[in-house]
Each structure stands twice: as structure tokens, then as C-alpha cells.
């Protein structure tokens, strides 16, 4: 059996698994405020800057519009955001927070801390985390620029 074809030797499987498990850890916290994890990501983008076209949101999340559009529609149906035609460019759809969506920020403010507890482990520390972030950022940059 090829050593390289073992699960234990693969970076992607680790990332795939870690991403799924940490998203699962978010679930009980997010369901309390009525959001899924991808929806929470969109909210963070909008809390940081309100009133953005779909494309800007998609780019910040490294997602395609065919993923983001249905996501936004569900969030609109839930009353967290509004979607309206752009005035300068009629092709654009501008996404804005509703009062309900804006109010959610304070309710979500404790989530990063709560999650920090769940994720706390021996090898990820204030000393090692920056190195981990750098590696992941580098990987993301390499893969996202290679894709075009």
C-alpha cells in the first residue's frame, strides 16, 4: 500500500475534518440566535461594513455567487438582511442589515469567547496560534490565486 495514500499522511483530510468539527462546535451557540455557520460568516462581513454588493461578500468569504445568493435569500426570509437593486449599477444587489440583523451583533459578541473554550488544546496556544494562522493564510492565498 502506498504510504502517500494513507489518510494519516494527508493535510487536506485534517483540514476537512477540523473545519467540520469546529463548525459543529459553533452549532449550539449559533442555533440560539437563529443562524447557521455560513450565515454567521455573512453577518460578520456585514457587521464589519454594512451595505455591500453580493460580489463583495462572496469575495471576502472566498465563495461563488451561486452559493451566496441562496444563502442571502434564506437570510432575507429570516429578516436579518434586506436585498435591493443598486442605484449606480442596476446589476448589483446591495445587501443591508435590518434592525434585527444589527441587533444580533451584541448577542453574538460572546460567541468567539465561548468557542475559544471549546477549541482550547495543548498545542494551539497564544505562542503557536500566529504560526498556524500564517500557514493557513499562506495556503488560502496560494490556492485562491492558483485557481485563476
Distances (CA, A) of 59 to 45, 64, 104, 140: 11, 8, 23, 13
The reply on whether position 131 binds its own copies by CB under 8 A is yes
Neighbours of 52 (CB within 10 A): 20
| Residue in 31, 55, 107, 109 binding its own copies, rule: CB under 8 A | 109
Is 124 a binding residue for its own copies by CB under 8 A? The answer is: yes
CB 36 within 8 A of CB 70: no
Per CB under 8 A, 33 contacts its own copies:
no
70 vs 131, which CB is nearer to DNA? 70
3-class state of residue 104 by DSSP: helix
Is residue 16 a contact point for its own copies (CB under 8 A)? yes
Smallest distance, DNA to C-beta of residue 74, A? 4
- The answer to whether 143 contacts its own copies (rule: CB under 8 A) is yes
Distant-in-sequence, close-in-space partners of 115: CB < 8 Å, separation ≥ 6: 22, 25, 26, 29
* Shortest distance (Å) from residue 110 CB to its own copies: 9
Task: Give 127's DSSP letter.
Answer: T
Q: Determine contact, residues 14/6, Cβ cutoff 8 Å.
A: no
Return the number of the residue (86 or 132) whose C-beta is nearest its own copies: 132
- In the complex, minimum distance from the CB of residue 58 to DNA, in angstroms, rounded to a whole number: 7
Among 66, 90, 99, 122, binds its own copies (CB under 8 A): 122
Residue 69 dihedral angles phi and psi, to the nearest 5°:
-55, -50
Q: Write out the residues near its own copies by the rule CB under 8 A.
A: 1-2, 4-7, 9-26, 37, 41, 44-45, 47-48, 60-62, 105, 108-109, 111-113, 115, 118-124, 128-129, 131-144, 146-147
Amino acid at each position: 500500500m502506498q504510504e502517500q495514500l494513507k489518510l494519516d499522511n494527508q493535510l487536506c483530510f485534517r483540514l476537512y475534518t477540523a473545519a467540520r468539527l469546529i463548525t459543529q462546535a459553533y452549532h449550539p451557540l449559533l442555533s440560539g440566535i437563529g443562524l447557521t455557520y455560513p450565515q454567521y460568516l455573512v453577518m460578520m462581513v456585514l457587521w464589519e461594513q454594512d451595505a455591500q454588493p453580493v460580489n463583495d461578500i462572496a469575495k471576502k468569504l472566498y465563495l461563488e455567487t451561486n452559493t451566496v445568493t441562496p444563502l442571502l435569500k434564506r437570510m432575507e426570509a429570516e429578516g436579518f438582511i434586506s436585498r435591493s437593486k443598486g442605484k449606480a449599477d442596476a446589476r448589483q444587489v446591495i445587501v443591508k442589515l435590518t434592525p434585527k440583523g444589527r441587533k444580533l451583533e451584541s448577542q453574538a459578541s460572546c460567541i468567539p469567547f465561548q468557542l475559544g473554550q471549546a477549541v482550547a488544546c495543548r498545542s494551539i496556544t497564544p505562542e503557536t496560534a500566529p504560526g498556524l494562522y500564517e500557514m493557513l493564510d499562506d495556503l488560502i492565498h496560494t490556492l485562491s490565486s492558483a485557481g485563476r
